Structures are given as C-alpha cells and as structure tokens.
C-alpha cells in the first residue's frame, strides 16, 4: 500500500502494527510509541471511501418539504426532527442502480444507529446511517489501585457523508435503488433521533477498484517507506458505536503492560464482534512510499 502524509486506517479487524517493507521487528516495544494528535473532524470526513465520480443528482434542499411544508434552511443545513417526513422529487436521466447518499450530523445522539424509514415511489425500505463515537478523553483515569478505567463515551457531532444502509439485510450493505429514467418521489423519516442534513445526492452504484488495477495506476513501485509505525489499537480516533472499547490483557507481549496493574492495551473482543462494526485509526508518515500492514491479534472461539 502506497501512503503519504496524514492517513486514516479504516479496518474491520484489530489493527496494531504498521511497518515499512524494509523493516522487520520482533518486539514493537523497543521502538517506542509516538502519540498522534487525533483529529475527529478529519476522521469524520474520511469515514466512508469517497466516490470518485460526481453525484448523478444533487438534491436542492430548498426544494424539499417536511410534513408537506416548505423547509426553512439554516446556515448548518436542514433540521429534521424525529418522526418528521422529508420528501423530495428527483429526475433520473439514466436508468440504473443508485445509492442514496447523505451528508449529516446527529443532534443529541443516541446509542443506536440512526434508523430511517425510506420510501421510493411507494416502496418502503428499513434503512440506517451510522453515527460516530469516541472517547471523551485520551488519558485514562485510574482507580485507587492504579488500574486504568474505560473512558466516558461521547458522540462526534461532525458532518459525515455516508450512503444510506439497508438495515434489514445481513451485513448491512448500502441500500440499492433500481431506478428507471424519469421522475421519482423519495420520502424519508428519521425514526430514532433528530438530524441536521447538509446534503442529499443520488450516486450511481460503483464497483470497488481491484488491487491489480490500483497497482497498475501507480508509477514508481520501487519507492519503499523507511519508518516502523506502531499504532496502539485502543488509541482509535472514532468508531461506529459506543460499545466498542479497550480492555487490559495480562500478556507481557502487549504494550502497555504492568504485572501488578490493569493497563488498557487491546480492543475488547466482546465489544467488537458484530458484522459492520467499524473503527478508524489515525497516523502519519514522514516519507512517501510503499508500506506493509501487519497485525497483532488473537482469535477467540466458543467452546
């Protein structure tokens, strides 16, 4: 993987070590850990892989209606209260499969994903959009015995751009809408909580680029990075729900470790076991180049 500058690692498994292609290490502790200042706004803007093409159809918010009435837009966007009905018409020039993409942020976020009732030309879908969560503070508090305590969880109220998810399907894929060319009516209800919506668009479904195509588009493939970057898994920037948390494991291979005290040094597997849960880490590289990604992990199984 070729990387440069400020990077976010968005991985659905526990990422612990990122090392360059020309460095091999048996014990990451000897290299020390460089604390990275976490930028939740940057993380929110990179939460979903951006679409490379322009949206097929941008919806003008001033032309939408809430409960049949014209909307009043603020500088932040459109305020959609729980159970309000947001409706708009869209004209499709090309028949195809589309994703409905929202740019939004929560108001007084709740624990669950924000569930949406979506209706397109009378066909109903149960949908959702993720909310971002993080630790209230990055320095762990300690109890009277010196054991580290899990931090308070807070909602990250930054704008997120994310396709609407099909909440009723296993794996929670993006909601796919098969639309013929012509005019269509879309209705959307936030069933859980209030939202601020900054943008709505319909984007034609895209296939992810294969690794072979990605490598074919890169020029000089001999440029190798030089750093060994170690990321502590519990030092994440953002996550998809507040249940995901770190825990302390008594294993001297892990960092940090103390024989007599509980130090948080891994992601709790009991909190990160559901399909679609997501964590984002942030790191920086000083030299452009190709880097390998490595993991230190343990797989648990039920007896």
Q: Supply the pLDDT for residue 15.
A: 35
| Residue 260 and residue 171 share a domain | no
Whether residue 290 lies inside any domain: the answer is: yes
Whether residue 159 lies inside any domain: the answer is: yes
| Residue 84 and residue 174 share a domain | yes
Q: Supply the pLDDT for residue 40.
A: 78
Domain boundaries, position 113: 57-131+154-204
Which of 4, 1, 3, 9 lies closest to 280 in space, CA to CA? 9
CA distance 203 to 97: 9
Q: Supply the pLDDT for residue 24.
A: 30
H-state helical runs in the chain: 40-45, 211-216
| Residue 105 and residue 39 share a domain | no
Whether residue 75 lies inside any domain: the answer is: yes
Whether residue 179 lies inside any domain: the answer is: yes
| Residue 175 and residue 88 share a domain | yes
Whether residue 87 lies inside any domain: the answer is: yes
Whether residue 143 lies inside any domain: the answer is: no
CA distances from 295 to 15, 85, 179, 231, 299 (A): 5, 45, 42, 10, 12
| Residue 159 and residue 69 share a domain | yes
The number of domains in the chain is 2
Whether residue 237 lies inside any domain: the answer is: yes
Q: Positive or negative CA dihedral for 74, 77, 78, 82?
A: negative
CA distance 232 to 234: 6
pLDDT per residue rounded down to tens, the chain (303 residues): 655 555 555 444 333 333 333 333 333 344 344 455 567 777 787 777 666 666 678 888 888 999 999 887 888 889 999 999 999 999 998 899 999 999 999 887 776 678 999 999 999 999 999 888 999 888 899 999 999 999 998 888 889 889 999 998 887 889 999 999 999 999 999 998 899 999 999 988 877 788 888 888 876 667 676 778 888 899 999 998 888 999 999 999 888 999 999 999 999 988 888 877 889 988 888 888 888 888 888 876 555
Q: Supply the pLDDT for residue 54.
A: 61
Q: Domain ends where: 171, 189, 204?
A: 204
Whether residue 299 lies inside any domain: the answer is: no
| Residue 186 and residue 74 share a domain | yes
Q: Taking the CA of residue 66 as centre, how many other CA atoms within 13 Å lie in the half-sphere pointing to its CB?
A: 17
Q: Domain ends where: 146, 170, 204?
A: 204
| Residue 200 and residue 62 share a domain | yes
| Residue 102 and residue 194 share a domain | yes
| Residue 81 and residue 196 share a domain | yes
Q: Supply the pLDDT for residue 98.
A: 93
| Residue 181 and residue 105 share a domain | yes
Q: What's phi and psi for 175, nearest 5 deg? A: -70, 125
Proportion of the chain in helix, strand, coil states, percent, rounded to 5: 5, 40, 55
| Residue 199 and residue 62 share a domain | yes
For residues 189 and 41, the answer to whether their CB atoms sit within 8 Å is: no
Q: Domain ends where: 174, 204, 234?
A: 204
Q: E-assigned strands of 111-193?
A: 114-120, 123-129, 133-135, 153-155, 160-163, 165-166, 176-179, 182-190
Residue 118 exposed, middle or buried by CB count within 10 Å (0-12, 13-18, 19+): buried
| Residue 66 and residue 195 share a domain | yes
């Amino acid at each position: 993987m070729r990387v440069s500058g400020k990077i976010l690692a968005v991985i659905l498994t526990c990422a612990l070590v990122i090392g360059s292609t020309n460095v091999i290490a048996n014990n990451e502790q000897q290299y020390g850990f460089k604390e990275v200042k976490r930028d939740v706004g940057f993380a929110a803007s990179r939460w979903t892989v951006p679409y490379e093409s322009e949206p097929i159809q941008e919806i003008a918010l001033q032309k939408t209606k809430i409960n049949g009435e014209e909307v009043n837009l603020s500088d932040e966007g459109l305020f959609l209260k729980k159970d309000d009905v947001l409706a708009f018409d869209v004209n499709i020039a090309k028949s195809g499969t589309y994703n409905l993409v929202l740019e939004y942020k929560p108001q007084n976020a709740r624990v669950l994903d924000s569930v949406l009732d979506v209706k397109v030309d009378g066909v109903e879908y149960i949908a959702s959009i993720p909310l971002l969560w993080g630790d209230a503070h990055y320095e762990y508090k300690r109890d009277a015995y010196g054991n580290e305590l899990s931090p308070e969880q807070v909602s990250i109220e930054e704008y997120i751009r994310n396709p609407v998810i099909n909440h009723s399907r296993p794996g929670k894929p993006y909601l796919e809408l098969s639309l013929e060319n012509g005019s269509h009516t879309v209705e959307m209800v936030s069933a859980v909580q209030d939202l601020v919506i900054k943008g709505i668009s319909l984007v034609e479904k895209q296939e992810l680029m294969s690794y072979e195509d990605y490598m074919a588009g890169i020029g000089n493939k001999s440029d190798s990075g030089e750093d060994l970057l170690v990321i502590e898994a519990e030092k994440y920037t953002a996550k998809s729900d507040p249940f995901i948390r770190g825990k302390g494991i008594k294993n001297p291979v892990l960092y940090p470790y103390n024989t007599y005290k509980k130090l948080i040094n891994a992601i709790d597997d009991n909190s990160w076991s559901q399909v679609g849960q997501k964590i984002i880490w942030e790191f920086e590289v000083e030299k452009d180049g190709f880097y390998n990604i490595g993991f230190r992990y343990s797989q648990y199984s039920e007896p």
